[in-house]
Structure 1
């Protein structure tokens, strides 16, 4: 009987060792940012995440918490997308997607506006839904690109702007904020955001390191350039920024089964059979090399699906680091956890981060020197 009990005890002990250990996270770096909000039924994560990033920058630069209008940027970006599509005779990307530099370009050209001055919502609506808007715009630009009349109307761009005015609202030229009158340009000046201070960093071997190049991904419709560094240096850039009080804008792939907003984690298990179980507990992860990252990108296994905002780091009970990433899918506890944040393991970041945007002062000295900034 005693041997049987010992045997059972031994088996239970082995089972406990092999059992999944649930995640227990502790904050390590938690930089100040604005609340998680939802992008609604739109594909405008690029504007929501980069606006969140700029909101944290405003906090860092001025101490002020300002809720920026994401839709003001969207409103000013769509005409550029339409022009690009029509002038390329339909041989270009026209979709809801974009990248962080599209927001920076809009800020540079059109300034910033607070949410209370321009919310981009239809009358009596509290939720963004661009399904009809996008369908109308796509039909319009495709028609203009096909040029059925044989002579493109001089007013086609006015028609696009008229549709945007109907669905999002007319552009703002002046507004009142906290008792003061502003234009979008003067409001931008008040925030102390300087668009030229922000740089995008990526890491791929098909382009020379320490130079800038245009990364050919579908949402880079505006042909924005990125600085190319090694994978270790890109991760070091993220870490250096967070350790010195700078948050980080992130373009990444969230199409993997091992990314879960509901569970609040994004990981890369070493054994794919653990993909589902690793969403709920700790399993060994794959070692991500520069070569493996490149192969996954060139195989289209890694794609640019979503933009998010890195605001800090956490650690699990084993002391393993994860990045604290702010999402824009709201805080509904039935759909997300960690109050709308997702914790990325370093393996996931190394494999699935397409690019990051940081303030130039957040760059490590060695990286800054290598790219001549």
Structure 2
């Protein structure tokens, strides 16, 4: 996901998902009160801080949940290891294309999977804690990429007839300086591992993982590489009708699986306070009150204030397949962020939301958890990764899986 999503707000006082309403007169009566329908185990909330590594955090969080489901064991897998390996691979591709493709901080859910399969992984403790090498408490890629990107561009756009072999060691030195050197061997819980042997010990079958999307510019029940720049390895996703794309998410959650979600969080209905609605702008304009009637001309902060005041009564669009395609083609539906869907909850009106783990630290009303309506997810999903065993049998048959 190509945007660098940076925490800019202080964490608000946490409100539990099942907390009792505040006393009358002290609370917005429209504020959602959630009841959990199904919640699957997740590992601790992490913080990507000032880095474009949501793809890394979200997908490793997904595999940590998969390990929990399969083995009951809790791991903290190392985002720096994946970033180090992935940025080298991406740079090599950019050089092979003579700079005619993008080198950026973002990536897709397939990148950590590729790393696990081909390079292995290590626990967080086997590499420097994110940000510690630059004197920061967490990742801060501002200086890192201001050094890394020009280096890659200089090699890719070189006027030389033949490149030397030294550009790769030079690039690796930059990666190691800011992310830490990937260990060749390490000890974990009294046992010695290589990254590959550690990955093999986690109890997962890497061939179980597939990605799913839903667009009409390719035939349904076939595979294609979703056309976004950070999908640079060109992994194939199964293309399904929107209703079946959503059916898989529900089936996965209700059967104990989680989903590594990638999509658009730039919509006005995605708040920084842990909620996401697919706003119906036309209905917002028709509501009484001068602010609501002037909806399209309001600032983003004012829109968020109105959304917060309306709460569960925010008017939502019911997404259609045609709307998804139109928004993708006109650049409204963008590849912004990666998160982990791990549960389903409903508000006091019975509307269902997905419970989603973010990687911005314990921020917002729900300490790093977002409640995103099913309409929002249906409208704004770019693609997602899921265990193939979580897909209903009738859909697996249609795609030959």
TM exceeding 0.5: yes
Residue 398 of structure 2 is matched in structure 1 by: 370
1:317 is aligned to 2:348: yes
Q: 1:290 aligns with which of 302, 315, 321?
A: 321
Residue 330 of structure 2 is matched in structure 1 by: 299
Indicate if the aligned counterparts of 2:51 and 2:141 stay in contact, CA closer than 8 A: yes
Indicate if the aligned counterparts of 1:267 and 1:279 stay in contact, CA closer than 8 A: no
Residue 298 of structure 2 is matched in structure 1 by: none
Distance (Å, rounded) in 2 between the aligned partners of 1:207 and 1:242: 27
Residue 99 of structure 2 is matched in structure 1 by: 90
1:92 to partner: Cα distance: 0.5
Distance (Å, rounded) in 2 between the aligned partners of 1:44 and 1:238: 23
1:240 is aligned to 2:251: yes
1:249 is aligned to 2:260: yes
1:204 to partner: Cα distance: 0.3
SS, match of residue 228 in structure 2: coil
Q: 2:154 aligns with which of 135, 140, 143?
A: 143
Distance (Å, rounded) in 2 between the aligned partners of 1:204 and 1:267: 21
Q: 1:266 aligns with which of 276, 290, 294?
A: 276
| CA offset digits 1:45-71 (Å, max 9, x no partner) | 000000100000010111100111011
SS, match of residue 349 in structure 1: helix
SS, match of residue 148 in structure 1: coil
Q: Equivalences for 1:11-26 in 2 at 5 Å? A: 21-26=30-35
1:214 to partner: Cα distance: 1.0
Distance (Å, rounded) in 2 between the aligned partners of 1:148 and 1:20: 65
TM-score (normalizing by structure 1): 0.91
Distance (Å, rounded) in 2 between the aligned partners of 1:172 and 1:303: 36
Q: Equivalences for 1:1-373 in 2 at 5 Å? A: 21-118=30-127, 119-123=129-133, 124-261=135-272, 263-270=273-280, 271-273=283-285, 276=304, 277-280=306-309, 281-282=311-312, 283-332=314-363, 336-373=364-401
TM-score (normalizing by structure 2): 0.85
Indicate if the aligned counterparts of 2:80 and 2:180 stay in contact, CA closer than 8 A: no
Residue 297 of structure 2 is matched in structure 1 by: none
SS, match of residue 28 in structure 1: strand
Residues 284 and 311 (structure 1 numbering): CA distance in 2 closer, same or farther, change over 3 Å? same
Q: How many residues were matched structurally?
A: 351
Indicate if the aligned counterparts of 1:252 and 1:307 stay in contact, CA closer than 8 A: yes
1:35 to partner: Cα distance: 1.1
Residue 7 of structure 1 is matched in structure 2 by: none
| CA offset digits 1:33-88 (Å, max 9, x no partner) | 11111001100000000010000001011110011101110111011110111110
Residue 8 of structure 1 is matched in structure 2 by: none
Distance (Å, rounded) in 2 between the aligned partners of 1:31 and 1:299: 36
Distance (Å, rounded) in 2 between the aligned partners of 1:272 and 1:158: 56
Distance (Å, rounded) in 1 between the aligned partners of 2:400 and 2:348: 40
Residues 279 and 231 (structure 1 numbering): CA distance in 2 closer, same or farther, change over 3 Å? farther
Where do 5+ consecutive residues of structure 2 fail to align? 1-27, 286-291, 293-302
Kindly report the root-mean-square deviation, in angstroms, between the aligned alpha carbons of the 2 structures.
1.5
